[in-house]
Structure 1
């Protein structure tokens, strides 16, 4: 199985990891075709024989424990397949918006299921963030730049404590980069 791993907290807040080291850590787990994309914790890999039969939750736990052991701090991991990334981006949740220079379009990936009772659009109390759409594990969020500054807290409590965020244009580039190195399907 080919995965896109989105890691939270890599190369921010003093948690500096060279991409070469990150690739080594994933290779140590028996993954193959390990590649990284930009310095913010995006890893592409294929499961190896030892991990092929693991379900996603177990695979995430394995990666998180290995990263914690090697780096000494928690690194939440969010796994998606290429097909899941394609479906997510195909939703075009920001399509109806009149985007201005003071807006940033983001995808917040969550560990917890986003409640389907969440009334959308959902604005932050300071009106500096707005969830405009959501799937079970992704919230499509607009950051409003106020006085030249992005929101101070870049998340919503309703989305849980373990999230990671990518700008929508970065997510599209991640998908493109993942597809470039993906192994070609074999035919019988």
Structure 2
């Protein structure tokens, strides 16, 4: 009997920019790959499932699983859907580290967890505050950056490359509270 791990696939650019996919369809697409206990959380591309635990411990295995999912989604949906794959335990570790400890939450402040396909460039200064003061990168590890967004007149004005032009990887962000809810849903499934 093989051991399984629960994964969370954070999908980038799903249900934005006119690319609408119902979660029922996304779950079915993951099921077509033979992944088990497939579930989702809200309409922003958060899919969780179980698969062989060996992939979680092995970089090549995880890359192969990620590539398999990305190819299948592109084939079925007709456009590329980057996937940032983490185990539920990895995401829980992010939450347990309390990366935003000490940050005062106000109606004008949003806390976001940004999942990265590659580490930030070595020359990217952390902590970093954007020139306009609309966001701060308060910390990072190889797979995640922790960003405080400052709303202007109640609006999210942050656009463009959060991590500068030298960052060649992909990122997708989730609010901190949403990230906690995704983990809870994945554990419950």
Range into which the TM-score falls when normalised by the shorter chain = 0.7 to 0.9
Q: After TM superposition, give the deviation of residue 68 of structure 1 in Å.
A: 0.5
TM-score by length of 1: 0.88
Partner of 1:36: 40
Structure 2 residue 157 is the aligned partner of structure 1 residue 151: yes
Alignment match of 2:172 (pick from 154, 164, 178)? 164
Distance 1:161 1:151 in 2: 22
Partner of 1:27: 31
The question of whether the paired residues in 2 share the 8 Å contact of 1:133 and 1:139 is answered with yes
C-alpha distance after superposition, 1:147-181 (max 9, x if no partner): 22212406413454511110000000001111111
Partner of 1:12: 16
| Aligned pairs, number | 180
- Decide whether aligned partners of structure 1 residues 171 and 108 sit closer, same or farther in structure 2, where only a CA change above 3 A counts: same
C-alpha distance after superposition, 1:20-60 (max 9, x if no partner): 111111011111111111111111111269x8997111111
Distance 2:179 2:97 in 1: 13
TM-score by length of 2: 0.87
Structure 1: runs of 5 or more not aligned: 182-188
- Decide whether aligned partners of structure 1 residues 157 and 132 sit closer, same or farther in structure 2, where only a CA change above 3 A counts: closer
The question of whether the paired residues in 2 share the 8 Å contact of 1:6 and 1:77 is answered with yes
Q: Secondary structure at the match of 1:47?
A: strand
Distance 1:65 1:125 in 2: 38
Q: Secondary structure at the match of 1:58?
A: helix
Distance 2:79 2:162 in 1: 23
Partner of 2:144: 138
Structure 2 residue 184 is the aligned partner of structure 1 residue 176: yes
- Decide whether aligned partners of structure 1 residues 165 and 155 sit closer, same or farther in structure 2, where only a CA change above 3 A counts: farther
Structure 2: runs of 5 or more not aligned: none
Q: Secondary structure at the match of 2:148?
A: strand
In the TM superposition, 1:18-167 aligns within 5 A as 18-47=22-51, 55-115=61-121, 117-153=123-159, 155-158=161-164, 159-167=167-175
Cα RMSD (Å):
2.1
